[in-house]
Structure 1
């Protein structure tokens, strides 16, 4: 890994917005593959998540990291869209109630758009009824429920139960994603698939969408 890559990762982990964006622009100017940059963003967000779990970072730090990530994605998205192809389908993504973590969700959304999907991002801390509303309104192929906190698993279960109660469960595939997700969580929530990092999540969403 070059110093530029390492410096970029460190700047994002340290929430140094100015340096991070400056290094991002340097990497783009050097014609680096944007997928490589996204991989470094993923590595950075893993470290940010660990610092949060260890109590070294707080919710405000997660929100700051999410803000920097949003700026990164605004700059990167046009690079993926240069050869836009016909839409592969619509995906709804959102972070479940009680969780404001949006870094993983934002990376998943950016990767899905790069793959040619239309993405409706309903945001963070969303109650079950908002997911139900989004399914009714947009008729997605897949819904991605995101959350970093252990408590998010319970919210994911409640959300899927609300989707069932609304009579919509057989119309959509559901993926749960986040650092606390595993096969046990998938069984508990009755989701169709789970992922603990963005790249795996996108691959599973593609599979469920039949792509």
Structure 2
């Protein structure tokens, strides 16, 4: 099993779409725990993010990784199943200056499987986009995603803008991404943080009061 996990991670990091999906189908057919597969996706995307920050990967590579991830999640969605219960609306988006959407997309898929209505704003979203989404969708939680170190400042600016718009007391805010930690939460003024999609979903449920 270790070999197939390593091969899957390497295929995703190498952006080998055919090999990655072929191995994924083998793992699903063997009825492997989908959360183990998600953990491997997280490991692979961490490496992709590192390569981008090191200048070894470019935006086109991130887009390719995102496309492969979308296929992965489409295959995994039926495995996770879908909850018929509507647990509330969550607005999620990658903050301004950051075009990473891999972690955000994994989180969105897991939240939908849990029964949340997810409004995905996409990437590189300015504060105004989140403010308008709050006004229009009345979410219980707003999730600010970002992988780059610089995204922390954008998260703070966004939280501050939500405060200035008089909407902060209407929503819970969670910041997420590979570089986020408790210090990030404190600096940005968010209610919670997560650097892991699977563990993050538990935090979403806690914030929503549906544990």
TM-score (norm 2): 0.93
How far the C-alpha of 1:91 sits from its partner, in A, is: 1.1
Aligned residue for 2:152? 153
Task: Tell me how far apart the structure 1 counterparts of residues 43 and 110 of structure 2 sit (CA, whole Å).
Answer: 15
Counterpart residue number, 2:39: 39
Distance 2:69 2:21 in 1: 10
The structure-2 alpha-carbon separation of the partners of 1:54 and 1:67, relative to structure 1 and needing over 3 Å to count, comes to same
Q: In the alignment, does 2:195 pair up with 1:188?
A: no
Q: Aligned equivalents of 1:179 and 1:52: distance in 2?
A: 13
Equivalents in 1 of 2:138, 2:81: separation in Å? 24
**Structure 1 match to 2:87:** 88
1:1-211 paired onto structure 2 within 5 Å: 1-81=1-81, 84-211=83-210
Post-superposition shift, 1:27? 1.6
RMSD: 1.5
Q: Which runs of 5+ in 1 are unaligned?
A: none
* Deviation sequence 1:141-190 (CA, Å, 0-9, x none): 11110011122111111111111122111000001111222222222211
Deviation of residue 38 (structure 1)? Answer: 1.4
Aligned residues: 210
Tell me by how many angstroms 1:4 deviates.
Answer: 2.1
What is the TM-score normalised by the length of structure 1?
A: 0.93
In 2, Cα distance between equivalents of 1:65 and 1:175:
24
CA distance in 2, matches of 1:196, 1:27: 25
* 1:59–1:136 Cα change, 3 Å: same
C-alpha distance in structure 1 between counterparts of 2:50 and 2:154, whole Å: 21
Partner Cα distance (1:200, 1:31) in 2: 22
